[in-house]
Amino acid sequence: MAGALLTVESWPALPLAEWRDTYATLHMWTQIVGKTRLALSPRENHWWHTALYMTACGLTTSPMPYGSGTLEIGFDFLRHRLVMETSEGRRRELALSARSVAGFYREYRSALEELGARVRMWPVPCEVENPIPFVADREHASYEPAQARRFWRVLVQADRALERFRGRFRGKSSPVHFFWGSFDLAATRFSGRPAPERPGADRITREAYSHEVISAGFWPGGGAVPEPAFYAYAAPEPAGFREARVLPAAARYEPALSEFILPYEAVRLSPSPEDEVLAFLQSTYEAGANLGRWDRAALDRPPEAWG
């Protein structure tokens, strides 16, 4: 295993019930920043231009073109600040502290104006039930710094495992990135073959799944999975995938999501959490790739070349 072995303390507990309110508010805040990235960044395949990326202290848009320069916006979960900077040296910060989404949105738009950035964005959240326009959302107004930082610490560990797993693949793969719509950290592998169009797909889904994929990531949980978990799925799903035997023993197939799930709590309490995650990622990939008849000889790095 590359680097020092991680301890259980490196993987903090993240019970969904304890931070559900902070999670819901932070989800909306990341959507506001994410919609800025969607508005400003040049389009990429599979909507990669919309995602946020990991930094040493949080999540960032990465530099976005604006005017003759760039604008970058990042969440700092160590100091609990939203930092907004331009390539001309202008900078604004907003405190990450308890207040409504409506209040955060007003402050955010004002800070953008002060930076000279007039961004047209759709001011309504995506991929959530009963979406409330940002300017009217006074329902979500919680932010506990310790809970947000704990979530960030979990993302750090998930990112480590996903980056290592990503390096095992020669074929086309996505960056490890954070999707603010579904609020998950994800990485996707591609077989290189087009996929049949999904029945009833909207333009977002049609683009995202235009080619065969096996995707995996980390999600704080909700709905059918009321706990944080690692997940993996194949699209289109090959016959026999849901019955495949995967590692570790705590992993299961969740029919409601059409995904394999590995509960985070089982990972963090194991003797070697990162190895548990890598076993899950590798075994679910092998199940999907073998059953889907991917050209693994061309796409996979041999185990002796894994980092």
Q: What pLDDT score does 299 carry? A: 98
Q: What pLDDT score does 9 carry? A: 61
φ/ψ bin of 46: left (φ > 0), alpha (ψ from -120 to 50), beta (otherwise): left
Whether the link from the prior residue into 248 is cis, omega within 30° of 0, is: yes
Cα separations in angstroms, 79 against 6, 87, 154, 206, 279: 24, 22, 17, 39, 34
DSSP 12-75: ----HHHHHHHHHHHHHHHHHHHHHHHHHSPP-GGGGGG-BEE-SSEEE---EEETTEEEEEEE
Residue 122, CB-side half-sphere exposure with 13 Å CA sphere: 6
pLDDT tens track of the chain, all 307 residues? 444 444 446 899 999 999 999 999 999 999 999 999 999 999 999 999 999 999 999 999 999 999 999 999 999 999 999 999 999 999 999 999 999 999 999 999 999 999 999 999 999 999 999 999 999 999 999 999 999 999 999 999 999 999 999 999 999 999 999 999 999 999 999 999 999 988 888 888 888 889 999 999 999 999 999 999 999 999 999 999 999 999 999 999 999 999 999 999 999 999 999 999 999 999 999 999 999 999 999 999 999 999 7
Q: What pLDDT score does 307 carry? A: 79
Q: What pLDDT score does 8 carry? A: 41
* Residue 234 CA, distance from chain mean position: 17
Mention every residue, 6+ apart, whose C-beta is less than 8 A from residue 263. Answer: 227, 228, 229, 250
Q: What pLDDT score does 2 carry? A: 45
Strands 229-235 and 259-263: antiparallel
